[in-house]
Amino acid sequence: MLRIAITPGEPAGIGPDLVIALAQQQHTAIIISIADPDMLAERARQLGMPLTLIAYDASKITQPVQAGQLLVYPEKLAATCKPGVADPLNAPYVLNSLRKAADGCQQGNFDAMLTAPVNKASINNAGITFSGHTEFLAEHCGSVKPVMLLCADQLRVALLTTHLPLSKVAEQITTERILSITRILHHDLQTMFGIDNPHIALLGLNPHAGEAGHLGHEELSIIEPAIMQLQAEGLKLSGPLPADSAFTPDSLKHYDAVLAMYHDQGLPVLKHVGFGNAVNVTLGLPIIRTSVDHGTALELAGTGKAHSGSIEAAFDLALEIATRQHA
């Protein structure tokens, strides 16, 4: 029986709401929430949702619990949580829950982890340097090279660079990075998604993919040589493609994934297509990790207005990948 660990993320955001909503359904896998049980119980009361919390004991839990029940692996808050008001004092709680989930996956106690959104500003305001789940989990799992992939139905967009100011992107576009990220993307499309020979489109960095060097040199001097080397290794690649035309339906039907050079080159398109139902998957880790495609939405916490489509999709994909890898 597969076991999926879920971290509710920022306690003052909608993460706990989404976990409670997910618990209202019957599932075919064992779901374990790593969270403060008192916080979950209080949030369920505020939402008017029935919730019976059961302490997680791996030796006793062998089947999924019933709808309206939730297994909890306790991690206590440092400060009282008020929906909508993020408290930096709870930053260690947020990160400890991530560590427990990742450690459990690495130790074989969990088959995958699903993360609800965190509040990066609150964590940094606590004096803890934090740029995102992707980078945090990569370091925690042994400084592996992570790849952020977002999925919305059949559209998959991976990022060469992730959470960087735009002014720093160009200096991070290197042949070495393209080689390593594309190899990871190719490998995990095979192992996680079951695509035997994935066709990957690489975008250019500059408008019109550099216009033959007239609008930037990166395509000619960095991206094209990397593509040629990878093609010589047997990878099926196209590019560098102009980003403004690569996402047309006629273009996308040829590709299994698109590799964008930076965050806001690829993700606005994907979120336009599937916001609220898209899934964030971290490739390159020794564990399976999926996540929602949105933020903490502090203003919606405890109101019952949060949409659970993305966490449901993230759960389904985590289960699908874990099932494929255990087959």
Q: Model confidence over 127-157: pLDDT tens digits?
A: 999 988 989 999 999 878 899 999 998 899 9
Rounded percentage of the chain residues whose pLDDT exceeds 70 = 100
Residue 163 pLDDT > 90: no
Residue 291 parent element (H or E) = strand 289-292
Separation CA 120–CA 191 (nearest Å): 31
Predicted pLDDT at 275: 82
Give which of 242, 316, 260 is closest to 22, Cα–Cα: 316
For residue 26, the model assigns a pLDDT of 95
pLDDT digits (tens, 9 = 90+) for 44-103: 999 999 999 999 999 899 999 999 999 999 999 999 999 999 999 999 999 999 999 999
Task: Name the packing angle between helices 309-326 and 15-22 (round to 10°).
Answer: 60
pLDDT(327) > 80: no
Pick the CATH number of 1-144+285-327 from 3.40.718.10, 3.40.50.1000, 3.40.50.620, 3.10.129.10: 3.40.718.10
DSSP H helical ranges for 242-286: 243-246, 249-252, 263-274
pLDDT band at 274 (very low <50, low <70, confident <90, very high): confident
Amino acid at 282: T
**pLDDT at position 317:** 96
Percentages of the chain per state (helix, strand, coil), in multiples of 5 = 40, 20, 40
Q: How much is the pLDDT for 38? A: 97
H/E run at residue 280:
strand 279-283
CA distance 219 to 300: 43
Q: What local confidence, expressed as pLDDT, does residue 259 receive?
A: 98
* Rounded Cα–Cα distance for residues 80 and 77 (Å): 7
Average pLDDT, the chain: 95
- pLDDT at position 144 is 81
Q: Which residues contact 100 (CB under 8 A, 6 or more apart)?
A: 5, 34, 73, 75
CA 117, 159, 271, 192 torsion: positive or negative? negative
pLDDT value for 203: 98
pLDDT of residue 78: 96
CA distance to 4, 178, 242, per residue, from 236 (Å): 33, 14, 18
pLDDT at 277: 87
Q: Token digits for 273? A: 């297509």
Domain boundaries for CATH 3.40.718.10 within the chain: 1-144+285-327, 147-276
As given in the structure block, the two tokens for residue 94 are 């947020």
Quickly count: other Cβ atoms within 10 Å of residue 255's Cβ: 22
Got the DSSP string for 114-180?
A: EE----HHHHHHTT-----HHHHHHHHTTS---EEEEEETTEEEEESS-S--GGGHHHH--HHHHHH
CATH number of the domain located at residue range(s) 147-276 in this protein: 3.40.718.10
Tens digit of each residue's pLDDT (9 = 90 or more) over 199-232? 999 999 999 999 999 999 999 999 999 999 999 9
State mean pLDDT over 313-324.
96
The radius of gyration computed from the CA coordinates of the chain, to the nearest angstrom, equals 20
pLDDT band at 326; cut points 50, 70, 90: confident
Residue 285 reports pLDDT greater than 80: yes
pLDDT at 13 over 80: yes
